[in-house]
Structure 1
Amino acid sequence: MFIIIKHGDNQEFLVNSNCSVLLLLHYTRKKMGLRKTDTIDLCDETGTLKLLFLTKTPGDYASKFLTARNIYYVCKVERGAPGTRIENSYKAIVPLLKYPEPELLESLRTQCDFLERSRIKMLRTLEAKRLAAMESSVNLPARSPKSGGAQQTTSTSSQLKVGDQMKTGHLLANHSIRLGQTSLRDIVNSIKRPSESSNYQEITGI
């Protein structure tokens, strides 16, 4: 499976796309005398980039992204200055043609702008997630190592209070019974009549 790569002043060469993306890009750089560090990509005749330089699996076959017998142009991807905050930014995507069509240039310019906006959006999203994680970690309540002991002490104290209340309740109940019996006896004795004393003793046993 071969593709046609055009560059310069209508120059071209054939490339076998039945190889890895990494090998195809390496061969293209060597064929055109580019540096190994140059970032390049291929676009079709309409200017649509294949984004081979962004693939996460450069070992995949290039035929997965390219159509056999089609014509492709080599494009150089210009990024920010190395070692700076914008080293990963997209500055321009330039077709390596001597006389590129205006429509081709406009298409590549639009795609370059889109890549840069997507990059900035991703950076902002990651920054927002990082700040949210930091805020959540700061707002977490501190756990006291003595909380278990405090709970145990509170529980023991509550048990003691309940026991005391039960004992007090029993004492009050017994005292009330004795008071009730005494009051009943006093009331009965106060309403006894001398003539009825013997009969009342037989009935009440008092």
Structure 2
Amino acid sequence: MFATVRFGANRQEFVNLLCRVHTLTGHLKKKCQCRPEDCIDLVDEKGTLMNLSKVENPASEYASKYLQGRQRYILIRVVREENSEATCYESLLEDLGKHYPDLPGLGHSTDQLQRLSGKIQKTDQRKNQRRSLHRTQSHTSIRARNRSTSHSRRNLELKNTPK
């Protein structure tokens, strides 16, 4: 499962999403020559913030949980103001407006990216709830199926025993 990340002077990097978020962001920082202490993130071609910089445990979470394969992403720097809660996003792709003239957010209004990031978090919460519900349902159905199979085996054994 791979994705394309665009940055610099129209450079692109193919990245494997079956790795930890920490590994992916570290690799991208080296490729775009960011400082190790810089905070980076990705935006898809529609301007949706992927929120990799807010992953609680990037050393154990897989990037494939947050990113989709075969998609193109734009590398951004996340700049948090020291004395306020304001967050700014800076594109690391040169001439962003030339490549994506309709891209909302970057360089214009960070409010839209922040609203989009809030939507992503809510969507992720719903997905996680559906996944856990699906796991519970499938686990229950497997247990019920096993019970009915063992029950039918016993009935078959009883029928085949001589009287």
What TM-score does the superposition give when structure 1 sets the normalisation length? Answer: 0.49
Displacement after TM superposition at 1:54 (Å): 0.4
Q: Once the two structures are superposed, what CA deviation does each residue of 1:111-141 show, in whole Å capped at 9, x if it has no partner? A: 45559xxxxxxxxxxxxxxxxxxxxxxxxxx
Pick the structure with greater CA Rg: 1
The 8 Å contact of residues 77 and 90 in structure 1, kept in 2 or not, is answered as: no
Normalized per residue, the structure richer in strand is 2
- Structure 2's unaligned 5+ residue stretches are 117-163
Matched ranges for 1:74-113 at <5 A: 74-81=75-82, 85-86=83-84, 89-101=85-97, 102-106=101-105, 109-111=110-112
- Structure 1's unaligned 5+ residue stretches are 116-206
Normalized per residue, the structure richer in helix is 1
User: 2 CA distance for matches of 1:112 and 1:67?
Assistant: 19
Q: Give the superposed CA RMSD.
A: 2.2
User: 1 CA distance for matches of 2:115 and 2:75?
Assistant: 19
| 2:39 equivalent in structure 1 | 39
What TM-score does the superposition give when structure 2 sets the normalisation length? Answer: 0.61
- Matched pairs, number: 111
Per the alignment, in what secondary structure is the counterpart of residue 103 of structure 1? Answer: coil
Specify which structure has the bigger relative contact order, considering alpha-carbon pairs within 8 angstroms and separated by 6 or more residues: 2
User: 1 CA distance for matches of 2:81 and 2:115?
Assistant: 16
Matched ranges for 1:140-179 at <5 A: none
Per the alignment, in what secondary structure is the counterpart of residue 106 of structure 1? Answer: coil
Per the alignment, in what secondary structure is the counterpart of residue 104 of structure 1? Answer: coil
Percent identity, please. Answer: 35
Poorly superposed stretches of 4+, deviation over 3 Å = 111-115
Per the alignment, in what secondary structure is the counterpart of residue 4 of structure 1? Answer: strand
User: 2 CA distance for matches of 1:71 and 1:17?
Assistant: 12
The 8 Å contact of residues 90 and 113 in structure 1, kept in 2 or not, is answered as: no
The 8 Å contact of residues 91 and 112 in structure 1, kept in 2 or not, is answered as: no
User: 2 CA distance for matches of 1:51 and 1:77?
Assistant: 10
